[in-house]
Amino acid sequence: MKTCFTSLITLLLIPVLHAQLPRPASGTIRRVVNFPSRFVEPRNVDIWLPDGYDPKKKYAVLYMQDGQMLFDSTTSWNKQEWGIDETLGGLQARKLIRDCIVVGIWNGVVLQHAEYFPQKAIDFIPPAYRPELMPLIRNKPMADDYLKFMVKELKPWVDSAYSTSPDRKNTFVAGSGMGGLISLYAVCEYPEVFQGAACLSTHWLGTYDVKDNPVPDAIVQYLKSRIPKSSEHKLYFDHGTTSLDSSYGPLQKKVDELFEANGYDASNYNSREFAGEGSSENSWNKRFYIPAIFLLRGN
């Protein structure tokens, strides 16, 4: 079964011919068009390989959400990008981080909120509020199936198609906004798979209600039940002070206190505020080197 699935993906792996690929400033991009899944809707997956990628070497893997926004502003909807290729290419060239590749998972657009909302946190939301939440997640929470896609389908293929170190110590996940939530959720639900997560401008609100919103407390309650071991994991969080980020500070503080109470310290936990920054790829581009070094320095 694995051989058939891998062969199917290999047939779908195309370099440039029939899709507009990002043009990275550093490294190369390979794309799987409509990666098939038993759990979620098919979507594109972009794999970034650093300059000098060598199949004889082993590489750590960083899985990133909202994959269509990572590498090339000319192909993104808002003409912004994370600049992942420039940042990670430069850091690797200077030996500031270990050798790594990036797997950019495109979001499901209309299903993005349903796939990224931490599904088991819904159990901690008062029933009276759930009718307001359900339309936002398309009346069908999908985060657990999305993580099954990542862990049971995508990761095995990446590890078979590329020269990776597949162990937990070399497997990371990152995202922003709702992508920050699902990245944290991935470490909590699959602590044996992911060593760490970078969660930028984490959308603790879960919805777009700032006042009387029970979602942040529900997420904290979920974390109390599933917090990963401090001896085995690393977490990075940050937020700005403008736009959506202006509401994240007090919520992030509650999360920081929870992790600190469970044994996390500066060696494995980093939480930062960036004054004047907001929720945008341009903002994340400027500071992504910080979580990259924090997660990927030395083995």
Beta strands in the chain, from DSSP E residues, in sequence order = 13-14, 28-35, 43-49, 60-64, 100-105, 171-176, 196-200, 234-240, 269-274
Q: pLDDT band for position 230 (50/70/90)?
A: very high
Q: What is the pLDDT of residue 74?
A: 79
- Between these two residues, 195 and 23, which has the higher pLDDT value? 195
The alpha carbon dihedral of 262, 190, 116, 72 has a sign of: positive
Phi, psi of 38 (to 5 degrees): -85, -10
Predicted local confidence at residue 7, as pLDDT: 40
114 pLDDT above the threshold of 70: yes
pLDDT at 4 over 50: no
d(CA 230, CA 31): 35
Domain containing residue 191:
2-296
Report whether 168 contacts 57 (CB < 8 A). Answer: no
Question: Which residue has better confidence, 17 or 224?
Answer: 224
Torsion-angle region of residue 261: left (phi > 0), alpha (psi -120 to 50) or beta? Answer: alpha
Q: What is the rounded CA–CA span in Å between residue 213 and residue 218? A: 10
The pLDDT score that the predictor gives to residue 18 is 43
Average pLDDT over residues 84-90: 96
For residue 22, which of 43, 45, 41 has the smallest C-alpha distance?
A: 45
Q: Is the pLDDT of residue 11 over 70?
A: no
- Residue whose tokens read 């992508």: 179
* pLDDT exceeds cutoff 50 at 202: yes
This prediction's pTM: 0.92
> Does the pLDDT at position 210 exceed 90?
no
Q: Name the pLDDT band for 19 (thresholds 50, 70, 90).
A: low
Q: Are 105 and 150 in contact (CB under 8 A)?
A: yes
Instruction: Specify the pLDDT at position 295.
Output: 98
In 23-135, alpha helices (H) = 84-93, 112-116, 130-133
Task: Return the CATH number at 231.
Answer: 3.40.50.1820
* Number of domains into which the chain is organized: 1
Residue 211: band (very low, low, confident or very high) from pLDDT cuts 50, 70, 90? confident
**And the tokens for 8?**
């199917």
Average pLDDT value for residue range 14-26: 66
Q: What is the mean pLDDT of the chain?
A: 91
- What is the number of other CB atoms lying within 10 angstroms of the CB of residue 134? 14
